[in-house]
């Protein structure tokens, strides 16, 4: 297995450092059995930015979906693991034997609780659910789930509740112990929205309903910023963005790494976004596996020369 280790990442926030590992991952479409992934090996460490490139149909989006646990795909071989590098996760103690998780055994929401985030190429539109309500619910669900996953014995979970120390005021109403209350959440959300240059009115809009393509992508980054993943997989976050929004989104992605210490796996077809979000590593996917890895120069070479040379190189050596 080829191992791609990044530069030693500096710890910049309280975010849990983790390593996402794809090990000889094989997957097919659950209905019909069409093989898509043919042995993907990849590692993304918190604090690193990886770009995943490749021609249409090479398996990039499938990789992203399989990591997140999309039910349309069946993994036939290999593993997806997350290794948590810390002994503590937002105040929840992580026992040694619970540092490594096989994500394929877990539901999508459990994967999210362990710090995996998927930025969708085509985010769903959910009518009638406001952004603020959705994101607060998601954040609290994630915190709850996290506690459940690490719940070794009852005592620890309760302790964790207190440790998390979220402040709530009696005015907020519907707040359970350990949950982020309405007022506190609104503060978090406005701050993140400001960073992304998003209008305050977004908080009250229905989730992605009637959003422009660009607004949806901005919203994906906003969600990542609020949910604070250890590793964010962003599937063509740059498609359909005009130059202004591309800059906003890029600023948001860089902040995920620089301020929160998240690892980024960015799927893209274009060099354009990589000018703003400089990758530490670039991987080229061909026919369901990583054909070539390199640094930022590799992406620039692709921009000039396309994929043909990679294909030739890959099949010559094979």
Partner 1 sequence: MSSDQDHLRETDSEKRFEFKKEQNAAFAAEKGELDEETIRLISEDKDEPEWMLERRLRALRQFHAMPMPTDWPSQPDLSEVDVKEIVPYIRPDVDMRGSVDDWTELPDEIKDTFDKLGIPEAEKNALSGVGAQYESEVVYQNMQERWEEKGVIFCNMDKAVQDHPELVKEHFMTSCVPPSDNKFAALHGAIWSGGSFVYVPEGVTVEMPIQAYFRMNSEGMGQFEHTLIIAEENSEVHYIEGCSAPQYSKFNLHSGGVEVFVGENAHVQYSTVQNWSKNTYNLNTKRAICESEGTMEWISGSMGSKATMLYPSTILKGRGATDNHITIAFAGEGQDIDTGAKVYHNAPDTKSTIESKSISKDGGRTNYRGLIHISDGAENSSTSVECDALMFDNESTSDTMPYMEIEESKVDVAHEATVGKIGDEDVFYLQSRGLDDDDAKQMIVAGFIEPITEELPIEYAVELNRLIELEMEGSLG
3-state class of 99 per DSSP?
coil
Kindly tell me which residue out of 123, 178, 261, 288 binds partner 1, with binding defined by CB under 8 A: 123
Kindly tell me which residue out of 79, 98, 104, 141 binds partner 1, with binding defined by CB under 8 A: 141
Nearest-angstrom CA–CA distance, 130 and 138: 12
Kindly tell me which residue out of 28, 145, 215, 238 binds partner 1, with binding defined by CB under 8 A: 145
Distance of CA 240 to the CA centre of its chain: 19
| Secondary structure E strands in 193-279 | 231-235, 263-267
95 and 25 Cβ atoms separated by less than 8 Å: no
Kindly tell me which residue out of 31, 32, 33, 124 binds partner 1, with binding defined by CB under 8 A: 124
Nearest-angstrom CA–CA distance, 184 and 200: 16
Closer of 5 and 72 to partner 1 (Cβ) = 72
Q: Which stretch binds partner 1 (CB under 8 A): 49-57, 122-130, 241-249, 272-280?
A: 122-130
| Secondary structure E strands in 116-262 | 116-119, 231-235
Identify the CA nearest to 67 among candidates 114, 125, 134. Answer: 114
Closer of 67 and 290 to partner 1 (Cβ) = 67
Is residue 157 near partner 1 by the rule CB under 8 A? no
Kindly tell me which residue out of 15, 136, 142, 216 binds partner 1, with binding defined by CB under 8 A: 142
Nearest-angstrom CA–CA distance, 161 and 177: 7
Strand 49-53 to strand 263-267: parallel, antiparallel, or no bridges (unpaired)? parallel
Q: Which stretch binds partner 1 (CB under 8 A): 91-99, 109-117, 197-205, 306-314?
A: 109-117
Footprint on residues 40-79 left by partner 1 (CB under 8 A)? 68-72
Q: Point out which residues bind partner 1 (CB under 8 A).
A: 68-72, 107-109, 111-113, 117-118, 120, 123-124, 126-129, 134-135, 137-139, 141-142, 145, 170-174, 206-207, 223, 227
């Amino acid at each position: 297995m080829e191992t791609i280790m990044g530069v030693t990442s500096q710890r910049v926030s309280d975010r849990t450092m983790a390593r996402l590992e794809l090990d000889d991952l094989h997957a097919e479409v659950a209905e019909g059995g069409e093989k898509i992934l043919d042995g993907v090996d990849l590692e993304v460490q918190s604090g690193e930015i990886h770009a995943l490139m490749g021609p249409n149909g090479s398996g990039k989006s499938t990789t992203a979906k399989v990591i997140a646990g999309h039910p349309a795909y069946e993994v036939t071989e290999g593993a997806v693991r997350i290794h948590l590098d810390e002994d503590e996760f937002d105040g929840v103690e992580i026992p040694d034997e619970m540092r490594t998780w096989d994500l394929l055994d877990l539901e999508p929401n459990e994967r999210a609780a362990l710090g995996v985030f998927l930025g969708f190429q085509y985010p769903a539109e959910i009518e009638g659910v406001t952004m603020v309500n959705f994101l607060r619910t998601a954040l609290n669900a994630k915190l709850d789930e996290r506690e459940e996953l690490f719940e070794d014995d009852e005592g620890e979970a309760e302790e964790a509740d207190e440790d998390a120390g979220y402040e709530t005021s009696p005015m907020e109403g519907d707040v359970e112990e350990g949950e982020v209350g309405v007022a506190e959440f609104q503060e978090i959300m406005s701050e993140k929205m400001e960073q992304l240059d998003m209008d305050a009115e977004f908080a009250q809009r229905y989730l992605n309903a009637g959003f422009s393509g660009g607004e949806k992508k901005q919203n994906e980054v906003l969600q990542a910023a609020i949910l604070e993943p250890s590793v964010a997989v962003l599937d063509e976050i740059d498609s359909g963005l005009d130059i202004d929004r591309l800059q906003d989104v890029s600023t948001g992605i860089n902040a995920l790494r620089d301020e929160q210490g998240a690892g980024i796996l960015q799927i893209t077809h274009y060099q354009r976004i990589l000018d703003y979000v400089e990758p530490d590593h670039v991987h080229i996917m061909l026919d369901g596996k990583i054909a070539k890895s390199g640094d930022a120069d590799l992406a620039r070479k692709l921009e000039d020369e396309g994929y043909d040379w990679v294909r030739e190189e890959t099949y010559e050596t094979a």
